[in-house]
Amino acid sequence: MQELEVDISEDKLNETVEKRLRKEVNRGVQTIQYQVVTLLTTNGQAPFVTVFMYLNEAKSEQEKYDLAMIIEETLKQRYQGVKNEDGVWITPAFPKLIYVLEEDNISEDSKYWYLTELAAKCTAKRMVPDYISEKVMLQNKIDKNGEGHCYTCMGCRSFLTPYVNEDGKPQYYGRFNQGVVTVNLVDIGLSANRDLVKFWNIFDERMELCHRALQCRHERLTGTLSDAAPILWQYGALARLKKGETIDKLLHGGYSTISLGYAGLWECVYSLIGKKLTEPEGKELGLQIMKKLNDYCAMWKKAENIDYSIYGTPLESTTYKFAKCLQKRFGVIKGVTDRNYITNSYHVHVSEEINAFDKLKLESEFQSLSPGGAISYVEVPNMQSNIPAVLQVIKFIYDNIMYAELNTKSDYCQVCGYDGEIGIVEEDGKLVWECPKCHNRDQDKMNVARRTCGYIGTQFWNQGRTQEIRERVLHL
């Protein structure tokens, strides 16, 4: 300014710099958003990208202030949405957003409470961000030094186990998972025919089968040269190995994890004792099963120095396959196989009447036993005119559960312009999406966004998952 001989006060200069900086941030966030939603993989999907918004990752107050600015802009742009073919603002599926709840943003008098209010408004309209409680995560994720850590998941729910590297420092970024094998708990339950002794015997057999399958995944990676994917193994995405070096050392000692997935805990317990997870006897048996899964992972880890961990499998489309296989093998059994889907991980059944707070409190006990990844949710109506209620749920998440989300609906009919919930109707035994206003059923002429499992789905679903979506009850 002096060279241009412009007389400007320091306050005015700072104001100008701040405006220009915010414009740069606005353009940067917009670029990332549009690059993600317009970049497609070979199967036509957008990349499964997650943005982790954690203020306490900042190393100074100035850095935290700058990070808050980026988080604010990210939330504002997601609240606005992206335009569809008709120029109408709709809900994009990606990138997934995770907002960490911490002391600096969880109460009305905290410095960054305004960000949490903005996050609540965004959730009510666009279903994101999802929420991680720093408070609970520090209690759940403790490393061998006795220190708790808060860090992002990989994708929608897959969490790495705590790890201390060769320098004695905790490390989470750059690590990876070797793969997942999922056990169908419902099949074990039905095979036992209400005999708990028989159940545990079959359970042991299936665990050995899963173990062998997981070993196949591990052995498939053993001996892989870093040259197979230089960006991953040589240039720092996952490691900095030498050319010609194998990745073997990264497969042991906790640098990477390998996951034992599980599905259908609700139906498994009900098939054995006729009780729900929401009932004391059902909850007790469900927790026993979860602990037994963890016992097996601990045993395998001790024997092989490989980080096995329990993972709540999302079952995006496999839920339909599992259900059909169960019906074919065991027939239609009320409360167990009478639907074309099975319940995800430890979740309370989608049709069970339970309020949001009781659901999150109950599921928090199961989530803590799923260290390899899991997420809980509550189904809510249109909350855009009741943000204080959304904030109450968010505060409850902070105090009670590590990772949770709120599900709402965000749809648009391109034929009549209807901007509300597009329903599901049944015709000739098939479930079909239909606009309640003009009765449009052409999926190419509607935008439907639903939480599938952890991610938001926008490309419609098979009949099993569609039935599950249709039967969801509200928790608030």
Alpha carbon separation from 345 to 167, 286, 316, 431 (Å, rounded): 36, 11, 12, 24
Distance of alpha carbon 135 from alpha carbon 150, whole angstroms: 9
pLDDT tens per residue, the chain (476 residues)? Answer: 556 566 778 888 888 889 999 999 999 999 998 888 888 777 777 788 899 999 999 999 999 999 999 999 999 999 999 988 888 898 888 899 999 999 999 999 999 999 999 999 999 999 999 999 999 999 999 999 999 999 999 988 899 999 999 999 999 999 999 999 999 999 999 999 999 999 999 999 999 999 999 999 999 999 999 999 999 999 999 999 999 999 999 999 999 999 999 999 999 999 999 999 999 999 999 999 999 999 999 999 999 999 999 999 988 889 999 999 999 999 999 999 999 999 999 999 999 999 999 999 999 999 999 999 999 999 999 999 999 999 999 999 999 999 999 999 888 999 999 988 999 999 999 999 999 999 999 999 999 988 877 778 777 899 999 999 999 999 99
The residue ranges of every structural domain in the chain are 164-374
Taking a C-beta distance cutoff of 8 angstroms, is the pair 419, 125 a contact?
Answer: no
Distance of alpha carbon 314 from alpha carbon 374, whole angstroms: 8
CATH topology of domain 164-374: Anaerobic Ribonucleotide-triphosphate Reductase Large Chain (3.20.70)
Taking a C-beta distance cutoff of 8 angstroms, is the pair 409, 421 a contact?
Answer: yes
- What count of other Cβ atoms lies within 10 Å of the Cβ of residue 365? 15
